[in-house]
Amino acid sequence: MTYRVVVSESARAFLGSLDKKSKSICKKNLRKLISPYPGRGSGDKERLVIAGKDRYRMHIGRSYTALYIIDEEKKLVRVVEILTIKAAHKKYGF
């Protein structure tokens, strides 16, 4: 079963700030979220609990991290944030 992937405004703004090559790499990797669960499909994905809620993260190359939510009922993946791996470690401690 594949999922529809939507990207939040803040994540789109982050993508817009990247150079052409980085933006292309991020977009290519975000397409992997049609199979969003860890261990399925491709990509470095992991389930996390942030502020008591299930969240998922996917490393994009060695530079970026995408945080996303899975809406199983709607078969939807919502990318809520994309940030550098360094910023993700600082903000979330992972």
CATH code, 87 = 3.30.2310.20
Where residue 93 falls among pLDDT bands split at 50, 70, 90? confident
Q: pLDDT tens across 7-52, in order?
A: 999 999 999 999 999 999 999 999 999 999 998 666 689 999 888 8
Alpha-carbon gap, residue 20 to 46, rounded angstroms: 27
The pLDDT of residue 41: 64
Q: What is the pLDDT of residue 51?
A: 85
Distance (Å, rounded) from C-alpha 45 to C-alpha 41?
10
Q: What is the pLDDT of residue 13?
A: 98
Number of domains in the chain: 1
The Cα 2–Cα 15 span in angstroms is: 23
The crossing angle, in degrees rounded to 10, of helices 9-16 and 20-30 is 140
- Per-residue confidence (pLDDT) for residue 37, from 0 to 100: 93
| Domain span holding position 57 | 4-92
Q: What percent of the chain is modeled with pLDDT above 90?
A: 80
